[in-house]
Amino acid sequence: MAEEDIETKIKNYKTAPFDSRFPNQNQTRNCWQNYLDFHRCQKAMTAKGGNVSVCEWYQRVYQSLCPTSWVTDWDEQRAEGTFPGKI
Amino acid sequence: MPHPVQLGLQDATSPIMEELIAFHDHAFMIVSLISFLVLYVLSSVLTTKLTNTNITDAQEMETIWTILPAIILILIALPSLRILYLTDEINNPSFTIKSIGHQWYWTYEYTDYGGLIFNSYMLPPLFLNPGDLRLLEVDNRVVLPIEAPVRMMITSQDVLHSWTIPTLGLKTDAIPGRLNQTAFTAMRPGVYYGQCSEICGANHSFMPIVAELIPLKIFEMGPVFTL
């Protein structure tokens, strides 16, 4: 699985796979972490002038897991500058 | 499928529920045998004409009725723990569907590919068709595939609710601010019902869950909207 290209991985995306960092019933952190990871990746790639499409994996995962109302709230908070996470 | 004057559990639609039913039968048999034995001993002790005023100790009997219950408890615990670990097995789900509880309806989100989001309200009695089940039917059912591991993410937008489908052996609390995961694999198609299982206000009894399980090929064809 480490040999697989990130582009192929994104293309073959079915749903958020099992993440051994979050093995239990409470998946709140899983959703939160992927949301943070996508926006950090996006910020870093944009700053370096790299290809943002490699960050798409995190976006697909958080879209699969997170309730859309949470995502909307967080997007608004980021726009306002009141987002509690560090991006 | 619940039916009138139902005494036991609903028939299983997932392998875990089959295990749970078998465990229930096993534990119920042990409990019934013990209860029957105690009732018999009690009644025979209370109705006998034999009297013996010289019994002082009964070491052997005391040993047996200490060791035997311990063994019985182990015989109950082992299958129970087996099922507990079975429910925790890592399965790679094919789909993730979110279920969000509100007062007093459920919202289902299918966001693996694109976004399909809809609400599921109970059908009021006046809106029922002939043959429909009162207090169980909804306007939009949550449609799921059979024979594929499905992951459900349950949460709530306001107060505590609980999302349950007994025939699949599922009951997961919907807690605001927390995302609970449960997974299942359904074995046969059909329409399965459940009811909100955590008190959540005036209409707690009126926010049922209806899962429509369809063959995988038809599920993959995508949503068909009916008005």
The pLDDT tens digits for B130-149 are 999 999 999 999 999 999 99
The pLDDT score that the predictor gives to residue B56 is 86
For domain B15-88, give the fold.
Helix Hairpins (1.10.287)
pLDDT digits (tens, 9 = 90+) for A27-51: 999 999 999 999 999 999 999 998 9
The residues spanned by each domain of chain A are 31-79
Residue B171 touches partner A, C-beta closer than 8 Å = no
For domain B95-225, give the fold.
Immunoglobulin-like (2.60.40)
Q: Which of B90, B96, B117, B219 to mutate to test the interface with A (most CBs of A within 10 A)?
A: B96
pLDDT digits (tens, 9 = 90+) for B164-198: 999 999 999 999 999 999 999 999 999 999 999 99
Contact B90 A16 (CB under 8 A): no
Contact by Cβ (8 Å): A35, A62: yes
For domain A31-79, give the fold.
Arc Repressor Mutant, subunit A (1.10.10)
Residue A26 touches partner B, C-beta closer than 8 Å = yes
Residue B162 touches partner A, C-beta closer than 8 Å = no
Residue A12 touches partner B, C-beta closer than 8 Å = no
Give the pTM.
Answer: 0.91
The residues spanned by each domain of chain B are 15-88, 95-225
